[in-house]
Amino acid sequence: MLDTTKYGPWAVIAGGSEGVGASFAHRLADAGINLVLIARKPGPLAATADAVRAKGVQVRALELDLLDPGALRAIRDVTDDLDVGLLIFNAGANSYGHEFVTGDLDRVRGVIDLNITAQLALTHHFGALLKERGRGGVILVGSMAGYLGQAQISIYSAVKAFSRVFAEGLWLELREHGVDVLELVLGVTRTPAMERAGLNFDIPGLNVAEPDDVAREGLERLPHGPVWVAGGNAEAAAKRSGPNRAELALGAHEASKRLLPPESKA
């Protein structure tokens, strides 16, 4: 059962409008934790905010692009008067379909700024508050892509590797102050973002997780960081950590051709 005295009375979810973020919102609302939901898309954001508000919790919805230079200030404007016990960073950007050297460098910078720079800004701000508070938690939503370099999503893989290693160090720094840190590593998950990307979920034998299941795992494993590989993918993550990087990278590359949409299979 979620420790609401430790992780409440408020939680901030960046990327809280749909998919795994919305599942986190519903599970936290069911536990009685009030929510600050941050997302770019007003429609899904409003729908999720209304749905969890109907469960009896307070909700503040902030339509915001985390790449905006004033993003942290905007977040502070709606959270500085709150007792925040949990930060969930579920925002992320992917970049399928382009090799690095022929891709759009501005888009590459956007992937880095969202997955690294924005994540660090929010974690730095709320992590300091949680440390001073003496209790709370941070969940950084990661990806199996961070265990292995992959063609056409090389930058995305790299930033997710950064996030996992960062979470391990942050866990060491904050655990003695009563603050739990978890990198929740997702495999293929049936989210609206992945559906929009055109991923083929119907490959025989493909392990596809559901958003609510991985959100449940994340909240259950939060006290036991620093890393949890969700959706039954622990064995696959271990294999991706092997020493023969060329063999592993080539094998993953061939497998990805079945998963990605045709325009991404250059």
* pLDDT tens-digit series, residues 39-72: 999 999 999 999 999 999 999 999 999 999 999 9
Asked if 231 and 141 touch (Cβ cutoff 8 Å), the reply is no
Q: Sheet harboring 227-229: ordered strands across?
A: 59-63, 34-39, 10-14, 84-89, 136-143, 179-186, 227-229
CATH at 169:
3.40.50.720
Instruction: Check pLDDT > 70 for residue 197.
Output: no
Instruction: Check pLDDT > 90 for residue 186.
Output: yes
Residue 229 and residue 219: Cα distance in Å, rounded?
Answer: 13
**Domain count along the chain:** 1
Asked if 211 and 189 touch (Cβ cutoff 8 Å), the reply is yes
Q: Which tokens belong to 158?
A: 């790299």
Strand pairing of 10-14 and 34-39? parallel
pLDDT band at 266 (very low <50, low <70, confident <90, very high): very low
- 150-171: pLDDT as tens digits: 888 899 999 999 999 999 999 9
Instruction: Check pLDDT > 60 for residue 245.
Output: yes
Residue 12 and residue 91: Cα distance in Å, rounded?
Answer: 12
Q: Which tokens belong to 76?
A: 């502070």
Nearest to 162 by CA among 191, 133, 123, 130: 123
Higher-scoring residue by pLDDT: 103, 128: 128
Please report, in angstroms and rounded to a whole number, the separation of the first and last CA atoms in the chain: 46
Helices H / strands E in the chain, number of each: 11, 7
Residue 185 and residue 234: Cα distance in Å, rounded?
Answer: 9
Of the ranges 43-57, 87-101, 120-134, 229-243, which one carries the lowest mean pLDDT score? 87-101
Say if pTM beats, i.e. exceeds, 0.85.
Answer: yes
For residue 170, the model assigns a pLDDT of: 98
Domain of residue 260 covers 4-264
For residue 261, the model assigns a pLDDT of: 55
